[in-house]
Amino acid sequence: MNSRELNDRGVDLIEEGRVEEALECFDKAIELDPQAIFSRINRANALALLDRIDEAIGEFAAALRIDEENTSLWYNRGIVMSQIGDEEEAERCYRRAIQINPQDEDSSSSYNNLAVCLINRGKLEEAIQYLEKAVQLDPQNKSASSNLRVVHRLLGDKDKSGEC
């Protein structure tokens, strides 16, 4: 198998819950192509799933040395930073992903996750603008729509919270 096929196989294995085996595929993919950015991102995610956070952070760093402009890299790094409770760094990651590609439908998730970081840090008013942008980019983003209603409810705005 080539690097791309190994990466794809690893993704399939993660979906099946076979993370250790997936990690082996990503390792082989990177061995074949050390510049394989998505294999590095997926490897970092697999490491995080295995609670090997320091290694995951190191893999994200290796990926950043290859491509600092990859929105998927910044988005996934933000998720891991949130998981370990580093909301400030997660916020920085999501902001970077948005800065690189602010209008893509996939950016909707970055806007939503940035808003969640802000909510967790008590910045509800600021979170609203990012949630609105997430919904604008992807009206099917149920998480962003729900979060937007919750923030409006927390701010006492019953008209926008969906409450009767």
Asked if residue 74 is part of any domain, the answer here is no
In a domain, 153, yes or no: yes
Mean per-residue pLDDT of the chain: 93
Is the domain of 101 the same as that of 34?
A: no
- pLDDT at residue 163 is higher than 70: no
Q: What is the mean pLDDT of residues 158-163?
A: 62
Same-domain pairing of 110 and 149: yes
In a domain, 84, yes or no: no
* Per-residue pLDDT reduced to its tens digit, 11-65: 999 999 999 999 999 999 999 999 999 999 999 999 999 999 999 999 999 999 9
Q: DSSP readout, 98-163?
A: HHH-SSSTTHHHHHHHHHHHHHHTT-HHHHHHHHHHHHHH-TT-HHHHHHHHHHHHHTT-HHHHT-
Q: Write the CATH number for 50.
A: 1.25.40.10
Into how many domains does the chain fold?
A: 2
Tell me: do 42 and 106 sit in the same domain: no
Q: Are 66 and 85 in contact (CB under 8 A)?
A: no
4 to 35, 37, 131, 150: CA distances (angstroms) = 11, 10, 34, 41
pTM exceeds cut of 0.95: no
Mean pLDDT (whole number) for 121-131: 95
Query: Among 18, 51, 67, which residue terminates a domain?
Result: 67
Residues 61 and 107 in one domain: no
95 with 58, same domain: the answer is no
| 161 confidence band (pLDDT: 50, 70, 90) | low
Residue 164 has pLDDT above 50, yes or no: no
- The whole domain housing 111 covers 91-164
Is residue 146 situated within a structural domain?
yes
Same domain, 95 and 51: no
What confidence score (pLDDT) does residue 130 get?
97
| Residues 11 and 59 both lie in one domain | yes
Q: Does one domain contain both 110 and 150?
A: yes
